Structures are given as C-alpha cells and as structure tokens.
Amino acid sequence: MTAPPAKATLKLPSYCYQCVAGPDLLQVRVEEGTAVAVEPNFCASEIHPGAGRVCVKAYGLVQKTYNPHRILSPMKRTNPKKGRGEDPGFQPISWEEALSLVAEKLNAVRASGLLDASGYPKVAASFGGGGTPQSYMGTFPAFLAAWGPVDMGFGSGQGVKCTHSEHLYGEFWHRAFTVSADTPSCRYIIEVGCNIEASGGVVGVKRHADARARGLKRVQIEPHLSVTGASSAEWVPIRPKTDAAFLYALIHVLLHEEPRGSLDLAFLRERTASPYLVGAHGYYLRDPSSEKPLIWDEKRGEAAAYDTPGIKPALEGSYRARAVEIGPDGERLDEGELLGETAFEKLLAHMAPYTPEWASRICDVPAQTIRRLAGEFLEAASVGESIEIDGERLPLRPVAITLGKTVNNGWGGFECCWARTVAASLVGALEVPGGILGTTVRLNRPMSGRIESVKPGPDGFMDYPFNPTDREHWSPRPNIRNAYRTLVPLASDGPWSQALGPTHFAWMFLDGTPQGLPEVTFPEVWFLYRTNPAISFWDTQSLSEKMARFPFVVAFAYTRDESNHMADILLPECTDLEGLQLIRIGGTKYIEQFWEAEGFALRQPVIEARGEARDFTDIATELARRTGLIEDYNRAINRGVAAGLRLKGENYDYSLAPEKAHSCEEIWDAICRAASAELSEGAESEGLSWWREHGFRTRPFPRLEWYLYPALVRQGLRFELPYEERLYRIGRELAQRLHERGMTWWDKQLAEYQALPAWRDFPALWEKSVVAAGGKPEDFPFWLVTTRSMQYAWGANAGSELMREAAANIAGHGGVVINARAAARLGIAEGDLVEVRTPRRATQGRAVLREGIRPDTLLMVGQFGHWATPFARDLEVPSLNSLVPMSIDLTDATGSGADLVRVGLSRLRSRR
C-alpha cells in the first residue's frame, strides 16, 4: 500500500474508530511524509453530529504510529515454554517464513477436519470489544468467512463486561442493542450509572452540552461522582448493585402514588401488552381456536383477540373468558371458562410492595428523593404533547432513564433493564421523540436497518431470533466452547452471538466442563487482534496461565503485550494511520451515534507503513491464497463481508474476479466504487483516488428512522411489556431441556426467567462469593467498582504517553479512589500505598482521597495491571480485573457478570 507523495504539507482525511462511540472523522497533517498532528475534519461539520470534532484518543494516533515499542517485523517465538515468567525469545523473521508457518498450521487443520472430537472449531479468533477491530482489519472477516467454523467466543470482556443485559433484552424489547436518550429532544434524564460523558464519545459530549444549555436536567445515580455526575444537575450516591430497588420504587410511585390519568394510558393500551389477560398459571389466556392472546373489550363487555378491530381494551381488572392457557412445550394447562387478570393489573400488584421507604433501606437513597425524582420524571414526560418529525406527527415524551455498565449487566441487570423500559412505557417515552431509543441492532437482521428489522412475530409482538428451546430443535451440543446457543436463547445465533454468550465460560471450562456439554478443548490455532484478554478480562492471573497452554497463537501485534506474550507468531499490521479501509458511517449506531446522514468513510495510509508492517487486507489475501481459499475469500468480499456492502447491485457490478489474488488497492477500489454507486443509486462510480481526496461521502438519513414507534404503529405491533410471558415460557422450556440431560448447574440462572421480575438481594450474591472463596464478609467491607476512562478506553492506549499525561489531570487515574473520611478511619493518607484484597487475590496502588465517593466504595479507573506492555508496565496502576473472580454463581441468565467485587483495604506504607 503506497502513501501519498512526500510533498511539503498535506492534510489527509481519515477516521478514528478506536471505541464504539466513533467513528470520528479527522484530518492528519503530514509534513514531508511524516504525520505530525491530528485535526478535526470541519468539512464534516454539517453531517457529523459532533460537528466534525474528534475525541482525545485520536490525538494520540501520531504518537501511536511512531511508538518506538511497535512490532515492526514478523516475529517467531523461540522459547517453547509459555508463561508470564518465560521470555518468549521472539526473533524477527521474514513475512515469507511467518506466513508459511501460519499457513502450514491452517492447512494441517483443514486436512484433518475443521472441528475437533468435541465438535468445536479447531480455529479460534478473538477481537476487541464492540466490533471496533473490524474497522481496522480490512478483509480479514472475508478470510474467516471463507475458512468456515471459527470459535469467536474466547472473550476479552465483550459479552460479559459490556452492557450485556441491555444488549439482549434491549434488542428483544425495542431493537436496542444499545439504548440512548433521544438527547437532542430530551428534557430530563435519570442516569443510573451511565457515564455518558466518558462513553458517549464526541457526539454524546456535544449533544449533552447542547441539551444542558437549553435546560435539560440530568440526575446522576451512582456510587461515585463520575465525570458525568460532575456535569449533572444532581448526584445521588447509591449503594452498588441496588439500582433495581431504586427503579422499582420509581415505578411504584408512578403506579400507586401518582394519578392514573397522568400516565400514557393510550400507549399502554395500544402499544404494549398491558391489556392482555393472564391466567392462573401465569400464561396468557388465549382464544381457544386461534390461540391469540385475549384482552377484555370494554365496549362490548367481552373478551376478544388482541388484534380485533374496533375494541377498547381494559387496562385494569379481572375478567372471565372462554379461553385456553398454554404453557411451555405447548402444554395446554387449562381450558374452559377461565379467570384472567390484565397484565397491567398484575404489574400493579407486583410493584405494590416496592415503596420508596422499602427501597431507601436497600439502596441508601432517601425516600423523599425517590418520590421527588419520580414526580419530576412524570412531569417532564409531558404526556399528551406531540411533535412533527419529517412530516409525521409523533408523541413527544422528553424523558429518559439510561443505565450504565454493572447496572445493566450481571445479576440485577435484567431487573434494571426491565424496570427502565417499563418506566418509559408508563409515560409512553419508548421509541418516540425525546424518550429512550435503541440505536443499533446486532442480533436482529438486517444489521444496517433497525427499522427494517421490525417484523411481526407471535402474539402481536415483534419477532425475535431466539435460540430454540423446544424439544426438537434445542441442542446440548454447542457450536463453540462458551455454549451460548445451548444456554442463552436471547443471544440468538448470528455473527455477533458468539461474543455475546458467556465468554468467560470458554476460559473456565478448559479446566472442567460441566455435565452435559462436550469436553471443552484448546483450539489448535488462535488468532488475536486488538484485544488483550490477559488484562481486560477477570481473574487475569488464571486466564494468563490458561492462555499459556494454547498450542499455537498468532497475534496481530502493535506492541508486545500480556496476551501476545503467549503467542507463537507476531504479525505487524499497518496501524490506524497506515492502513486502508472503507466503512459505513452514520444512520443509527452505538449509543449516541444516530445521525441525519449516512454513507461511508475511508481510512487511508497517510504515511508509508513503518518497518515491515503490512496492510491487513494484504495479509488476509495471502492467507486465503496459501490455504486454497482465494475463491471463497473473493466471493465473501463480493457479497459484502468486508465492508458491509455488496459489490454488485441493481445498477452496478464491481465484483472481484474470484480466482485471482487482488492487491489491497484493487479490492478497496472496487469497494469504493460500489459505495459511490450505492449512494448515488448507480449514477456514480468514483474509486479509491476520489475517496482518498475527499475521505467521506453521505446522503441524508431521515430523522424519523431514529424512532421505532412509527414502524410498530404501521404494522399494528406492540412492545412486549410489561408482562414477560414469552421469556417465562422459554425459561421453563430451557429448564426442561437441561434437566432432561441431567444438567442442573444452570438452575440459578433459570430463575431469572420471570414474567414480572422480583427484587432479590443482589448485593448478597457478591457477599456470598466471599464466603465461597473462604473469606469472612466483615473482612471485605468495601465494594470495588470501576469506571470508564475516555482517554484510555480501547485502542491499546495504556501504552500511550500522551494519554497518560492527559488522563493524569483527571482524578483517580493511577490509583485507588477512597472516600476521604473512610480513608482517615483506616489511617490512610493521600498517596499512601494501599492493598486491596479479596480472599484469593490482592493488588496494590496509591490512595487517591476524594469526597465524591461513597464511604463503602472504592474505585479503580480503567483497565490496567500491565506487566508486559512497554510503558504501561511501568505505570504501576492497580486493576479491578485482577481481583474479580470468574464464577458460574456470579453469572446471570444472559451469561453475563458485573464489574464489581467485595474487597478489604489496608495501608501498606506511607507516601514517604
């Protein structure tokens, strides 16, 4: 791949997609062939909701490019022993030798079959979180598609440490892999642990600042005063993992203390399952012949199928109707004249005990505060208001509750996500202007069209691609090691599902597979790219030890790190400013990334590749050629695997000849032409040279498509809330399948499948884990939590000197944040070296004393604990990841855990 000529000074467009809050469109200033600075791309200010500006991390790209610690030639391990204490003895080798070694292994795998005796793929691949590496790995996905089965379930945190319950339940309820406030229209936000100013990227920061300026009130509910809390109107310090209690009390106030008429009753009647009648066994009462759920028609005074035209559904009450009640596996539980309560009536009864006074004792938030916030939420919802969007009149409900990591994953995550979404539905603030929006889909199809993914499913709800739980189709033989298809119906079975299963199970089961699953094996070949699970996952010590037992590891390596320390081959690929790739931009994507434009952006080499670094596309092509897969590889590119863009459309055909190994530029030129054609409906065909000059191209994206509500109205569908009959049924079926195979180790998780989730003592689960690890709860009186660092999150920035310097200005980076008075009680002063310990592990760090943290909570920012990554290994920054255990008991039904742990704290020595 050639860089532009080394003229005096150039400004070249590109993008940064180091984290899911991107992409940011930028320009790189290049002086005589050397990249010297990153600048905003103000040419994009009209189409980019962040006004073309770029995140702090992007300013580190120049330093990242010229980092002297980069791997600049292929390397081979010479020490066969692997382990933290072993020097890998990496020696430079030629690309020819490196690719031959990799291809030899791959060809041996192909010759003996792609699956092992347990049925698991012999090849595994792990990439960093949120799909961001895909914006840097060129056509490698096409190589993997050509290869066949690959286990992508060895996680590095994704699928487990993400906002996992939100991903799965969010997609189920409102096509919301990620949930955002409609910030541009919102007036009131309750953020429960959501650190949007650190995780929302440039767009999030800009939008929230604009919203505050026009009067939006944001209330921050979290154990420590984050950067988001700092710019919120109010901080409410809540006890960790009790968020569901707070949200339940909020709903209690809306249902039992506010006038019923202040809720959006029309929305509840027409767009939710609130009027569906529920029978004695907990399943919907159904019409005996059509088996459609019944509602009570107040107009005629009789039961009717939910979709009967011209009826007026009763929201409250109990009614008798001729009906059938059908349970799991199609079992007819009852038939005849049956008594049913409306789902809303059941919700009323369910939420009755959860008063603010009850919640206050659990979550340590005063009852009057909960009451006040519920009242503010209701008032701001402005039930009855409407707004015109793109010529269509929609409800305007400018209120949102947003959830953050650790709140919306792990035990309690389901309850929080359910409560948040129910609260929105009570005031009609779901998928309408001002309310909460799903901004992307990753499990439903098509991935690029959230609105198109709305299709009619059973019982008047949207369809959802559950993994089957019926006797005929459920399988105890997982396709990959983390068993997502067997254990997690909500994870579905698409390309993203592998990384959305219980990805810690792949690691855990290597040392003992639970009963009923085929023995979990080590993959014969493991590819690693833009991921460092030895740092970013939990129980990092054990994980590193397991990683050392992988027989053949190929790491696309930027610098040495803790995971590629165990590699056999290091391959240096062109990094951010050296590689070539075209990606889709705009439309609606992660978090706050919903735009009024959509199109494509190019990442291009702004300088010659350093050392022997090769473009990822060239590496992928060469691996395809050497493994005899070039035709399948080219066909995968032609059908859009690399860029999410088919090279042949209605009005154009830029397909690659399948039998030939094309150069990187040929491939991306074809993709650029297809992108030009797609955006112009075949009228234009600009290739790579045009895109290198202009960087991006878009067309308008209708704002109306931010909202799912119109699609549901058009199709006469309802949100599957508040009563979760389908989840309840699926849970019972899954239980029966597992028990039929003698598998009882998932029983605690099966209890999560509830029609109306009850509060459970979630904090106690973590206290019990202390006892299970041999400790006494009183010795571990603190909660240790973590928080997002905008400067470090993703992108291998722990080794960046510039990010270290910038981040050091923000309190907490580099130490253990402790409440000042709690520290004083333990004789700990600012800067003292302290030990933070669990019954089994301990770590050390410098005390950072702050007032903005609960006395029972400690905080470690970001993910550190490096011991191999140059520069980062000298920072001596403690990490929560080294302390959090991997445990089935702490895994919820979606296969997720949460980033917190009970710890003890003591002073080791003073600052001096």
Whose structure tokens read 């300026």?
213
List, in sequence order, the alpha helices (H) in 662-819: 664-679, 688-694, 709-715, 725-740, 747-750, 762-772, 801-807
Nearer to other proteins, 31 or 385 (CB): 31
| Residue 560 beta carbon to other proteins: minimum distance, rounded to whole angstroms | 14
Q: How far is the CB of 401 from other proteins (least distance, A)?
A: 21
Nearest CB to other proteins, comparing residues 323 and 790: 790
Under 8 Å CB-to-CB from 6, ≥6 apart: which residues? 32, 33
* Spatial contact of 280 and 334, defined as CB atoms under 8 Å apart: yes
What is the residue-wise DSSP string for 659-705?
TS---HHHHHHHHHHHHHHHHTTTS----HHHHHHH-EEEEE--GGG
Cβ proximity to other proteins: between 76 and 212 the closer is 212
- Please report the sign of the dihedral spanned by the C-alpha atoms of residue 299, residue 304, residue 306, residue 310: negative
Residue found by looking up tokens 């129910």 in the block: 422
Q: In terms of CB distance, is 118 or 231 closer to other proteins?
A: 231
| Nearest distance in Å: CB 818, other proteins | 11
Residues that bind other proteins (CB under 8 A): 31-32, 34-40, 42, 50-51, 53-56, 59-60, 62-63, 65-69, 197-198, 202, 205-206, 208-210, 212-213, 225, 227-231, 235, 237, 790-791, 801-803, 805-807, 809-811, 819-821, 850-855, 871
Least distance CB 475 / other proteins (angstroms): 47
Q: Specify the residue, 38 or 389, whose C-beta has the smaller distance to other proteins.
A: 38
Q: Which of residues 409 and 819 has its CB atom nearest to other proteins in the complex?
A: 819
Residue with Cβ nearer other proteins (202 or 868): 202
To the nearest 10 degrees (0 to 180), the angle between helices 243-252 and 343-351 is: 120
> Which of 68/80 has CB closer to other proteins?
68
Token reading at 499: 């990384």
DSSP string over 296-364: EETTTTEEEETT-TT--B--S-EEEEEEEEE-GGG-EEEEEEEEEEEHHHHHHHHHTT--HHHHHHHH-
- Give the whole-angstrom CA distance, residue 53 versus residue 65: 20
Q: How far is the CB of 696 from other proteins (least distance, A)?
A: 18
Please identify, using beta-carbon distances, which residue of 51 and 333 lies nearer to other proteins.
51
Q: Strand pairing of 34-40 and 782-787?
A: unpaired
First to last CA, the chain: 53
Closest approach of Cβ 136 to other proteins, in Å?
21
Q: How far apart are CB 823 and other proteins at their closest, in Å? A: 12
Write the single-letter amino acid at 318: S
Of 235 and 745, which CB lies nearer to other proteins in the complex structure?
235
Quick one: 404 or 501, whose CB is closer to other proteins?
404
Q: How far is the CB of 851 from other proteins (least distance, A)?
A: 5
Residue with Cβ nearer other proteins (54 or 396): 54
CB of 871 to other proteins, least distance (A): 7
Residue closest to 198 by CA, chosen among 595, 793, 851? 793
Closest approach of Cβ 106 to other proteins, in Å? 36
* Strand-pair partners of 559: 70
3-state secondary structure of 508: helix
Rounded distance between C-alpha atoms, residue 15 and residue 619, angstroms: 21
Beta strands (DSSP E) in 128-229 are 178-181, 188-192, 217-221
User: Closest separation between CB of residue 209 and other proteins, Å?
Assistant: 4
> Alpha-carbon torsion 869, 873, 877, 878, what sign?
positive
Strand (E) or helix (H) holding 754: none
To the nearest whole angstrom, how small is the minimum distance from the Cβ of residue 814 to other proteins? 13
Backbone φ and ψ for 26, nearest 5 degrees, come out as -140, 175
